[in-house]
Amino acid sequence: MPEDIKIGISGGTFDPIHYGHLIIAENIRNSFKLDKVIFVPAGLPPHKKHLKVTSSLDRLNMVKKAVSSNSYFEVSSVEVEREGYTYTIDTLKHFRKTYGEAAKLFFITGADVIKELHLWKDYSEILSMCSFVTALRPEYNDDEFYKAIEHYRSNFNANIYIADAPMVQISSTDIRNRIAENRSIKYLLPECVEEYIFKNNLYK
């Protein structure tokens, strides 16, 4: 394993995974010359404890199907297998141990997450363990977002990058609502994921 390996980590609930997740991950992989992107479905996310989340096994299976055709994409079940709430700090420690201290970790996330980093468990340690990459719509304009980046850079020496990526207006919430209302979800997510959803009667 090369010492300077560059690993992208795409964490999320993925309920369900859709083309928006995949397009952003592939674009960032290419732009930052990452050796691979590892998708990490959340097990029991603490920030969604009041919401109904589809079983971790179903979400994991959907992600596996969605990324199977891309040799640069992998799936990790580390959070699904972890008991109790899943925290990013523990996941990063897992990958640091797996790939070594010299590996460069890039956490791929949305702009809204950047503004909430201070709420994460051990967030200052997280900022020292990995870089963050966030994709924005070209017209994105949010002063709080840019202030948060400047704060983390100035006070924690954080590496936070803004990636130019085509932003596809697809959301997991919209997909779930469409299914519940018997509306089409075609072309919003991979066909193999769509088949899995209907085969297992999810989101009805």
Backbone angles phi, psi at 193, to 5 degrees: -75, -40
Residue 56 CA neighbour count, 13 Å, CB half: 18
How many whole angstroms separate alpha carbon 197 and alpha carbon 177? 13
Q: Is the pTM of this model over 0.85?
A: yes
Residue 124's pLDDT is: 96
All domains of the chain, ordered by start, with CATH?
Answer: 6-198 (3.40.50.620)
Cα angle value 56/58/60 (rounded, 5°): 65
How many whole angstroms separate alpha carbon 103 and alpha carbon 94? 12
Greater model confidence, 33 or 46:
33
Backbone angles phi, psi at 11, to 5 degrees: -100, 155
pLDDT band at 136 (very low <50, low <70, confident <90, very high): confident
**What b/e sequence results for 108-130 when a residue is b if at least 16 CB atoms lie within 10 Å of its CB, and e otherwise?**
bbebebbbebeebeebeebbebb
Nearest CA to 21 among 176, 192, 171? 171
pLDDT band at 166 (very low <50, low <70, confident <90, very high): confident
Nearest CA to 67 among 133, 16, 104, 112? 16
